[in-house]
Amino acid sequence: MGGTAVITIAQTAGFCFGVQRAVDTAFAQAKKPEKTCTLGEIIHNPQIVESLQEQGIKTIETIEQAPPGSTVIIRSHGVPKKVYEQLAASGHKVIDATCPFVRKIHLTVEKYSKDHTILIAGDISHPEVEGIAGFCQGSYLVFPCADQLDSLINKQMLPEDCPYILVAQTTFSTVEWKKCVEKLKKVCTNLKIFDTICIATEKRQQEAMELAAKSDAMIVIGGKHSSNTAKLASLCGGLCDTFSIERPQEVYDLDLMGYTNIGVTAGASTPACIIKEVHKTMSEILKDQDELSFEEMLDQSFKTIYNREKVTAVVTGIAPNEISVDIGTKHAGYVPLSELTDDPNAKPEDIVKVGDELELLVIRVNDVEGTVMLSKKRLDAAAGFEKVMNAVDTQEVLEGVVVEVIKGGILVLTNGVKVFIPASQATLSRSDNLEDLLKKKVQFKILEVNRQRKRAVGSIKVILKEQRKELEEKFWADAQVGKVYTGVVKSLTSYGAFVNLGGVDGMVHISELSWNRIKHPSEVVNVGDTIEVYIKDIDADTKKISLGYKKSEDNPWEIMKKDYPAGAVVTVKIVSMTPFGAFAQIIPGVDGLIHISQISNERINKPSDVLAIGQEVQVKITEVDLEKKRVSLSMRALIEPEQKEENVAPVEEKDEVVYEAAPAQEGKTQEAPAEQTAEEEAPSSAQ
């Protein structure tokens, strides 16, 4: 930590309202003569717990451990409902120090859990979440992050039509909360959302992120078991080098050499006195370094190697978790695996070999033990930093991997440097989901840089626009009616499907998607499908393209012409009925008419006397009119030969039966229409 370093403490660091209330309650009780204990640690801070123990208030884990007649304080995190009931039955005096914000969550889930599934965003092993779950009277699910929520959704553990209530642990990450809400809104149609993240927590996280964005390093103070402290460290770690400590003495173990702007924040369970002590310790170290004696400075000058120095080293040995190197001094040099590469799954032997010469950066010199720790990763990052900084002038296209989705955009890792890309510059459309980019390789350009703060802002959108323009120009140069393309379905409407052909979009009208009648394009294609289409029409002035999808060889009438000639016997399915006959599906897209006179060799009043919708029957194709798209069918043609053999009746009698007068209606006598007349009046059977 150099003498010019500036230390900035976050304004909202330290106790929140609920923690302060619980601590004040416990210390006030410590002044009373009665025996008192806390059920679980009053807050997640070892110094406070130790101080209470010194004043006679011990921590117990179960009610049975409480001394007879003692007072039991319920911790700030709260407890399950059954614990309240056990305490009431035990006869102990109870002081409830549960945070009011946590208590409000208890009441909410208790009220709704009878007829809702409760969704809890939080750490299932944390006492606050255990308490919340303990007030659920029905089913509940707990997930610690958006990725785990994805797993629940993929396992179909969240039926979309069930009623849900969503709450969060008061110290839950605000960034993760927004991701979870967005995901649940897409899959749960009956969802009520209660934003139960403590306002103080949200404000503390926002301020910590803003401070980290302005700093070279962040120190986060808090208990190792504190959930909100861990969240702060995670958020800050995505923006700058971050160190977590629990006690002021740990500052001496930190390597803060070379940082000029250091931010300090603390979890909601960290006392103000601890924050002040950390600041005091850091200031003393800074002062000591500014006031080095001549003798100390002389000793420093005799060192053969210094922190942050660039050296050339030769690999002398390879171990599973580090490599040994010779740097040309009396020191034993080594490079931990974490300083060799960012890949946690990489093996040292796959990266270097004995005898390789490496450019390394000195991280820590220990003259007492004669060792020096070096880093290849940090030196590569420094070189990468220069490349990124220069790219704003050269407009070089960089490539990187999206490593994180944060508030307002994404972080892309390139050459060891994280580049921020705002949401407005990450995709072509604001409606695109940034989560889809996570862990994917992307190309981008640098828009602006800040060398002093080591920050860079980039744009993927610029590259996508350039690529799209090139593809569009290429498309219009080659496009012509009839040309076949392979495209991706981009969106669906009630009247058609829009297909991306690579740079331009065209539309397939719903009538061009299938030879069958369909109500919506989704019956044939879905968004994301890769399909083969052809250009039906081009309007060069408006840049509109009409596409075709159905193929002539799939035309059902072509299939009829080829495979179903007149005289063929086929099995058909009854699909509808009229007073003059029944329509039956021959193949998908083609129906034929079985006239009432062709259903049976006996007189029937209506088709339903013999047939039913969905029934399959054998028929003979008696006529196929391809021009009018009509097909005539006959069941009678298949049974008449048999009847003729069994009943050889005079022609006169048969004619008399066929033309027998129909039953009278309203005093009138009707004759059944001749078959030819009825067929002429029947509507087209084409579907």
The residues carrying an active-site annotation are 128
Do the Cβ atoms of 262 and 1 come closer than 8 Å? yes
- 413-417-420 Cα angle (round to 5): 65
- Supply the DSSP symbol for 376: S
**Binding residue ranges for [4Fe-4S] cluster:** 16, 99, 198
- Paired strand residues for 364: 373
- Supply the DSSP symbol for 521: G
Q: Which residues, 6+ apart, have CB-to-CB distance to 292 below 8 Å?
A: 300
CA end-to-end span of the chain = 81
**Binding residue ranges:** 16, 44, 77, 99, 126, 170, 198, 226-228, 269
Report residue 605 as tokens.
Answer: 């009043």
**Binding residue ranges for isopentenyl diphosphate:** 44, 77, 126, 226-228, 269
Where do we find the tokens 């302060």? 20
The C-alpha atoms of residue 525 and residue 518 are separated, in whole angstroms, by: 11
Do the Cβ atoms of 307 and 365 come closer than 8 Å? yes
Q: Which residues, 6+ apart, have CB-to-CB distance to 25 below 8 Å?
A: 73, 95, 97
Report residue 677 as tokens.
Answer: 């007349």
Q: Which residues, 6+ apart, have CB-to-CB distance to 627 below 8 Å?
A: none
**Binding residue ranges for dimethylallyl diphosphate:** 44, 77, 126, 226-228, 269
Q: Which residues, 6+ apart, have CB-to-CB distance to 515 below 8 Å?
A: 550, 554, 555, 556, 588, 589
Nearest residue to 598 (alpha-carbon basis) of 574, 622, 575: 622
Which strand (E) or helix (H) includes residue 677?
helix 675-681
Do the Cβ atoms of 411 and 419 come closer than 8 Å? yes
Which strand (E) or helix (H) includes residue 399?
strand 398-406
- Supply the DSSP symbol for 213: H
Alpha-carbon radius of gyration of the chain = 40
Q: What is the DSSP string of 432-459?
A: S-GGGGTT-EEEEEEEEEETTTTEEEEE
The C-alpha atoms of residue 411 and residue 34 are separated, in whole angstroms, by: 56
